[in-house]
Amino acid sequence: MSEPTTVLSGDRQRLFLAIWPDAALAARLHELTRRTLPPGQGRAIETRNLHLTLAFLGSVEPTCRSCVESLAGEQRPPAFTLIFDCLGYWPRSHLLWAGCSQPPAMLRSWVDHLRGALRRCGLEPETRPFKAHLTLARNVRRYSGIGRGGRVAARMRHERVDDVAPVEWPVTALMLVSSETRPHGARYTILREWPLG
């Protein structure tokens, strides 16, 4: 018997725009999670599901998907490298994530462009400033760091950030991805890919 999936009305799909690590990088990130998660804590994101969301569309009709597809790839930055050099923990959402202490400025403008594309297609994208974070594990109830010293400013925002040995991610494409909720977590399918310049 096939697994039940989320029921979406009509032809709607739950979609997001993201960047996806290649298999070797995803394996390194998964290994970082394995080394970092306290024993018995949390659920590591499966290697094949690791990604970084740039803009979330939500559940949309095919016409809206086409609209976003026609606009999202309009302005693509040249290929660039993201350097993941810190780990963060959000106690309220129980998420452990990897982040970039110095994200390139063009990442913010690229995300602004994608959010603008969503808006032009009638969607209401996130308005909070974009913060690149790659979720490594969920349901992490307790995390006291990995011993390299948390940053005070981060702690004051009720998050904890630790430095880690930098992991380089060469970003070469934008992906449109669908998400289906399955009993054992989300299942993602890459629907379309735009290479960066």
- List contacts with ligand ATP (CB under 6 A): 14, 16, 53, 56, 126, 179, 181, 185-186
Nearer of residues 14 and 30 to ligand ATP, judged by Cβ = 14
Cβ 149 to ligand ATP shortest distance, Å: 28
| Distance of closest approach, residue 53 Cβ to ligand ATP, in angstroms | 4
Q: Which is nearer to ligand ATP, 150 or 176 (CB)?
A: 176
User: What is the nearest approach in angstroms of ligand ATP to the Cβ of residue 148?
Assistant: 26
Whether 46 contacts 24, CB under 8 Å: no
Nearest to ligand ATP of 45, 86 (CB atom):
45
Angstrom CA distances, 67 to 62, 63, 73, 117, 171, stand at 9, 6, 11, 8, 24
Comparison of 126 and 168: residue with beta carbon closer to ligand ATP: 126
Cα separation, 153 vs 121, whole angstroms: 37
Residues 48 and 59: beta-carbon distance below 8 Å: no
- Cβ 58 to ligand ATP, closest distance in Å? 7
Residue number closest to ligand ATP, CB atom: 179
What is the signed CA dihedral for 127, 128, 133, 135, rounded to 10 degrees?
-70
Pairing assessment for the beta strands 80-90 and 95-99 based on DSSP bridges: antiparallel
- Of 25, 84, 23, 26, the residue nearest 50 (C-alpha): 26
